[in-house]
C-alpha cells in the first residue's frame, strides 16, 4: 500500500502549517490525495492547501478552528499537532512568563486542539504530535523547550491508552536538527557543520523527511502502531 492509497480522501488538520515541517507535511498530504486544512497564527498565505488563521493557544480560536473543519471537511480523520516554538535560555535567566509561553505553544496547544478534534473523529482516526529528539536526550539552556516536548510524548502515550478503545491512534514524531528551507528557520550557518557532525549520517535532516514519517503514522499503513515515538534525527 502506498502513501497515496493510505491517505487518499482523508480529512486532515495540520496546526502550524504555513512553513517548515508543517508546510512540508500539509503539501505531502495534499499530494497523497488528502483534504487538508492547516492553520497558522499569522495571516494566511497562498499555498496548495487551505490555510486559516488561528492561535492554537487560545480556546476561542481552537473552537472556531474545529467549527471550520466540521463545516468544510465534515469531520476529521487525521490531526497533526505541529504548532510550536523553540527556545534557548539558561534556566537561571528563564522567567515564569517565558516558561509558560513555551509550554502553551508546544504542549497546551496540542491538548486544546486534540480535545476539540475528538468531537470530529471516529474509529480509524489518527493523531500525530510533533515532539523533538531533545525530549529524549536534553539540551543545555533549553529546560523549558525540552520539558514541553518531553511532556508531549507523555501526552501521546496517555492518549494512546485512553483513545485506543475508540479506535483512535496517537503517535509522535521526534525530529532532530532540521535544515528547514524557510528564512530564519533551522540552525544558523555557523552551527550547521558542527550539528551535522553529531549525527550518525553526517548531515542535517529535511522537512520533507520529517513529513514522510508523519504521513506513515497518519495513514493506514501504521494501523497497528499507537503510543509510539518515531525518531527522525539521523542517529543523534
* Separation between Cα atoms, residue 70 and residue 150, nearest integer Å: 31
Q: Are 231 and 136 in contact (CB under 8 A)?
A: yes
Residue 145 among the catalytic residues: yes
Assigned C-alpha cell, 136? 529524549
| DSSP three-state, residue 82 | coil
C-alpha cell at 228: 509510539
Q: Which of 3, 49, 145, 224 is flagged as catalytic?
A: 145
**Nearest C-alpha neighbor of 114 from the set 135, 129, 132:** 129
CA separation, residue 64 to residues 67, 116, 209, 221 (Å): 5, 10, 31, 31
Distance separating alpha carbons of residues 117 and 37, to the nearest angstrom = 13
Give the Cα separation of 51 and 48 in Å (integer). Answer: 9
Angle between helices 20-31 and 207-218 (to 10 degrees): 50
Residue numbers annotated as active site: 145
Amino acid at each position: 500500500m502506498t502513501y497515496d492509497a493510505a491517505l487518499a480522501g482523508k480529512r486532515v488538520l495540520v496546526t502550524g502549517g504555513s512553513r517548515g515541517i508543517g508546510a512540508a507535511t500539509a503539501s505531502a498530504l495534499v499530494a497523497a490525495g488528502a483534504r487538508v486544512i492547516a492553520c497558522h497564527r499569522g495571516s494566511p498565505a497562498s499555498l496548495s492547501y487551505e490555510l486559516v488563521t488561528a492561535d492554537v493557544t487560545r480556546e476561542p480560536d481552537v473552537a472556531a478552528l474545529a467549527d471550520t473543519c466540521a463545516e468544510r471537511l465534515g469531520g476529521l480523520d487525521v490531526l497533526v499537532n505541529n504548532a510550536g516554538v523553540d527556545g534557548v535560555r539558561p534556566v537561571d535567566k528563564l522567567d515564569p512568563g517565558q516558561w509558560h509561553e513555551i509550554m502553551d505553544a508546544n504542549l497546551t496547544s496540542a491538548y486544546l486542539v486534540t480535545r476539540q478534534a475528538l468531537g470530529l473523529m471516529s474509529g480509524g482516526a489518527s493523531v500525530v504530535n510533533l515532539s523533538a529528539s531533545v525530549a529524549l536526550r536534553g539540551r543545555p539552556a533549553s529546560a523549558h523547550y525540552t520539558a514541553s516536548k518531553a511532556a508531549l510524548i507523555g501526552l501521546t502515550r496517555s492518549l494512546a491508552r485512553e483513545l485506543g478503545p475508540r479506535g483512535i491512534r496517537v503517535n509522535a514524531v521526534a525530529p532532530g536538527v532540521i535544515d528547514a528551507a524557510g528564512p530564519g528557520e533551522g540552525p544558523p550557518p555557523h552551527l550547521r557543520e558542527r550539528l551535522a557532525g553529531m549525527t550518525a549520517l553526517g548531515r542535517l535532516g529535511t522537512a520533507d523527511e520529517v513529513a514522510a514519517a508523519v504521513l506513515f503514522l497518519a495513514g493506514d499503513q501504521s494501523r497497528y502502531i499507537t503510543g509510539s515515538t518515531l525518531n527522525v534525527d539521523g542517529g543523534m
